[in-house]
Amino acid sequence: MRMHSQQVSAFMFALVLSVSLLFPMSWAEATVNKIDINTASLEQIEAVKGVGQDIAHNILAYKKDHGAFQSIDDLRKVKGVGKVRLEALRETFTVGSTASPGENSPTK
């Protein structure tokens, strides 16, 4: 049985729609945007797969006590982040801003 182009288009649309309903994600997630660990909110960190409320709080507490993360490897120093979890988080987090707010603002 041969399908016409309209049938193929309708089938592909239905397939894509079905997959998107089974695996919902935002367009930003689909384009692999990473979260800056130094500027992320508690809610943003908690929303990451593999990071619960306790680890999110530990990340923010570590940053408060020790300053901005200089590299993703610094997450290894956070209570609850082992080698395996660090490797998983490497896919989600980035270290963009290492300066404290106001630290780089020009003075006149």
- What pLDDT, on a 0 to 100 scale, did the predictor assign at position 39? 93
Task: Give domain status of residue 18, yes or no.
Answer: no
Q: Is 33 helix (H, G, I), strand (E, B) or coil?
A: coil
Task: Give domain status of residue 14, yes or no.
Answer: no
- What pLDDT, on a 0 to 100 scale, did the predictor assign at position 79? 94
CATH number at residue 67: 1.10.150.320
Quote the tokens at residue 68. Answer: 């901005």
Asked if 38 and 97 count as a contact pair (C-beta separation under 8 A), the reply is: yes
pLDDT tens sequence for the chain (108 residues): 565 777 767 777 776 666 666 655 554 444 457 899 999 999 999 998 889 899 999 999 999 999 999 999 999 999 999 999 999 898 899 998 555 444 443 443
This prediction's pTM: 0.60
Alpha helix segments (H runs only) across the chain? 5-22, 27-30, 42-46, 53-66, 83-89
- What pLDDT, on a 0 to 100 scale, did the predictor assign at position 74? 95
Beta strands per DSSP E along the chain: 35-36, 93-94
66's CB contacts (< 8 A; 6+ apart) are 77
| Number of structural domains the chain divides into | 1
Amino acid, res. 13:
F
- What pLDDT, on a 0 to 100 scale, did the predictor assign at position 63? 95
Find the domain containing 41 and state its range.
Answer: 30-94
